[in-house]
């Protein structure tokens, strides 16, 4: 892989919830977007999703030339890839399916076109294993919904080149994302592992009868979640240490934190616990409709993103 390809056209392979959100975001950045998905009715669902997302993207700010008219769709993978400068793949979380899909994409695209996967947990070393040009295969994992949340995790496999990783980081940065580059492949990457740690203890506390589903949601949404929306866990800990910062905090709370770690649970999602969690969510939400929750969430996210963009000192 050599040289730097200017990205004008992005191919979005797989247009479910994540793929459609990516497509809307790429369009909002003034790019041409070519999409494909083999499922019945995919194009209609994609265009409807882009239309739903567009008002939020307009509020956040469209790039020059941004237009929904720059979206095209084909059921044929190879036709979709023709002329693409960057590929964002969003297929099912099935390792063998992705290996074959990336083999097909790799076979028809120039060697300098990056193939990025949105996979939530698969390792790129496996996904790139059947490619002629594995050096351009990498992870570009977004956080849902991609058209609003800035985070993208960029991770290479064993054969991914440093140049490809840097080019992906540069591309995502150029279109307004906040990419990070974890140095090692791990299942679930970074953000999902951090979420999973919280989910594990949340399920454990419900299973043990310590708290209800609503109690736990309230504890996060009206407690640490408000701070986490502004700064990450380490900087929040640093501020909790007062003038002494992180050094004082660890000296003061290090032993209690280790004691809490030792007491954390490791639940299994049994049929009984699954039923308890589902019933708890239903009780918490009552008559609230999911589409209304999503719309209100997105509206609040817009305000938060705009406020964070104007902050001068937050990392």
Per-residue confidence band for 5, with pLDDT thresholds at 50, 70 and 90: confident
Number of residues in the chain: 315
Give me the mean pLDDT over the 95-123 stretch. Answer: 97
Annotate 160-186 with b (16+ C-beta within 10 A) or e (fewer). bbebbbebbbebbeebebebbbbeebe
151-156 and 137-142 strand pairing: antiparallel
pLDDT tier at 142 (50, 70, 90 boundaries)? very high
pLDDT, one tens digit per residue, over 68-99 is: 999 999 999 999 999 999 999 999 999 999 99
The answer to whether the beta carbons of residues 204 and 265 sit under 8 Å apart is yes
pLDDT at residue 151 tops 60: yes
Looking at residue 99, its pLDDT comes to: 98
Contact 137, 163 (CB under 8 A): no
Has residue 2 got a pLDDT over 70?
no
Q: Is 151 helix (H, G, I), strand (E, B) or coil?
A: strand
| pLDDT tops 90 at residue 274 | yes
pLDDT of residue 229 exceeding 90, the answer is yes
Task: Encode pLDDT of 191-228 as tens digits.
Answer: 999 999 999 999 999 999 999 999 999 999 999 999 99
Do residues 118 and 18 touch, judged by C-beta distance below 8 A?
yes
**Domains of the chain, with CATH numbers?**
9-180 (3.40.50.720), 191-309 (1.10.1040.10)
């Amino acid at each position: 892989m050599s040289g730097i390809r200017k990205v004008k056209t992005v191919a979005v392979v797989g247009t479910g919830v994540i793929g459609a959100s990516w497509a809307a975001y790429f369009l909002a950045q003034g790019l041409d977007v070519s999409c494909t998905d083999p499922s019945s009715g995919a194009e209609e669902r994609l265009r409807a999703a882009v239309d739903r997302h567009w008002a939020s993207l307009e509020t956040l700010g469209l790039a020059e030339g941004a237009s929904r008219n720059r979206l095209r769709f084909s059921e044929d993978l190879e036709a979709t890839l023709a002329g693409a400068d960057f590929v964002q793949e969003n297929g099912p979380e099935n390792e063998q399916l992705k290996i074959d899909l990336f083999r097909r994409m790799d076979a028809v695209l120039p060697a300098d076109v990056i193939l990025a996967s949105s996979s939530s947990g698969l390792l790129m070393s496996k996904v790139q294993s059947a490619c002629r040009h594995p050096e351009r295969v990498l992870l570009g994992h977004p956080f849902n919904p991609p058209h609003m949340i800035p985070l993208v995790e960029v991770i290479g496999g064993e054969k991914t080149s440093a140049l490809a990783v840097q080019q992906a980081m540069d591309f995502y940065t150029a279109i307004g994302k906040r990419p990070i580059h974890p140095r090692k492949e791990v299942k679930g990457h970074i953000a999902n592992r951090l979420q999973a740690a919280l989910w594990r203890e949340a399920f454990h506390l419900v299973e043990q009868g310590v708290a209800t589903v609503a109690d736990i949601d309230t504890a996060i949404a009206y407690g640490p979640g408000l701070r986490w929306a502004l700064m990450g866990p380490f900087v929040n800990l640093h501020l909790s240490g007062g003038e002494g910062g992180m050094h004082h905090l660890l000296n003061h709370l290090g032993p209690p934190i280790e004691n809490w770690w030792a007491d954390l649970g490791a639940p299994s999602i049994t049929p009984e616990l699954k039923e308890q969690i589902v019933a708890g969510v239903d009780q918490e939400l009552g008559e609230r409709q999911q589409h209304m929750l999503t719309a209100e969430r997105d509206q609040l996210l817009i305000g938060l993103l705009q406020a964070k963009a104007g902050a001068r000192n937050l990392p």
